[in-house]
Amino acid sequence: MISNLTDIKLQQLKFEETYLSSFSTKSECSLGRKREELPCAIRTEFQRDRDRILHSKAFRRLKHKTQVFISPKGDHYRTRITHTLEVSQISRTIARALRLNEDLTEAIALGHDLGHTPFGHSGEEVLNELMPGGFRHNEQSVRVISIIEDLNLTSETIDGILNHTGKIKPFTMEGQIVKISDRIAYLNHDIDDAIRAEIIKAEDIPENCVRLLGAGTNERITSMVMDIIQNSLDKDEILMSDKIQDSMNELRDWMFENVYIDSPAKNEEHKARRIVSELYKYYINNYESTESIVRQDNEPIERSVADYIAGMTDRFAIQQYVELFVPLSWSGAGYSVF
């Protein structure tokens, strides 16, 4: 029976110690934060991480950032925030089944794409080409949580966010879950969106993938999730069977060939790239007069400009481009966009 607020947290910690797998990351064993803080009376450290990410400005802006389709008009196309929520759902399902720390898993999932640019990977590629030292959205996500908004998250959450993509494996099982769940989510919801946009048809999907994974989104996700759970039970790493992994890779290659590269979904991409490129060059040349750019101490101009652009939503980037580069027409009521 809970007699006071402190008991709420104590029961949660006891639950983790009693119920969670020996391979899980326990809240009491966290490596901690860069700056020490007084503990919360009712929440564990990873629950605090999750809440801070959820309430961040960067998280809210994800609702107007591209997933695949640039500034989609249809209400049912994914944006970066719906992608993030789907990653979170898949990750939590796997974590719960494997008795791993669901709170840490959710925190990593919710924060993994906070550093994504407007216009999705198109914007990321442009900044990577223009910025000295390159630009990678996972590293930018860490900048968001550690510098730009300074959420002071735990080391476990930061590591999971940083290594959700790339060759380095997160050091927690929970981080490994998010890494593979990210791929499961984007692959399946991108297929769904591409079918909705009539770029591909369901019957076009490779027969081998349909046979092993299923014909629909729900069936494919279920097949992948069940396979991961079955192959990762009582093990110290997150695994997928070779046959399901191979089928998933085949499906991903097929999507690159039919959707991600040279498809109608990419018709506007060159315009998006130009917007990001022109904004970057303008802000570099007009850095001192652009008051909205936050200057980070002892960092080059290029870094601050990249931070500013990466934080933009699609529509804000378009708005800024129009204001800076599109001439206004004159009428009796004043100037307006053509």
For residue 11, give the CATH number of its domain: 1.10.3210.10
What is the predicted pLDDT for the residue at 67? 87
Dump pLDDT digits (tens) for 4-55: 777 899 999 999 999 999 999 999 999 999 999 999 999 999 999 999 999 9
Dump pLDDT digits (tens) for 183-215: 999 999 999 999 998 999 999 999 999 999 999
Between 236 and 268, residue with greater pLDDT = 236
Find the Cα–Cα–Cα–Cα dihedral 217, 222, 223, 224, rounded to 10°.
90
129 within a domain of the structure (yes/no): yes
Q: What is the pTM of this model?
A: 0.94
Query: Phi and psi (nearest 5°) for 334?
Result: 120, -165
Between 298 and 169, residue with greater pLDDT = 169
Three-class SS state of 98: coil
313 within a domain of the structure (yes/no): no
Dump pLDDT digits (tens) for 102-119: 999 999 999 999 999 999
Cα(74)–Cα(197) distance, rounded to whole angstroms? 9
Cα(134)–Cα(7) distance, rounded to whole angstroms? 48
The average confidence (pLDDT) of the chain is 93
Contact 15, 4 (CB under 8 A): no
Range of the domain at 147: 5-266
Mean per-residue pLDDT, 274-285: 97
Contact 207, 200 (CB under 8 A): no
316 within a domain of the structure (yes/no): no
182 within a domain of the structure (yes/no): yes
Number of separate domains in the chain: 1
Dump pLDDT digits (tens) for 123-133: 999 999 999 99
276 within a domain of the structure (yes/no): no
Mean per-residue pLDDT, 240-254: 97
What is the predicted pLDDT for the residue at 70? 78
Binning pLDDT at 50, 70 and 90, where does residue 268 land?
confident
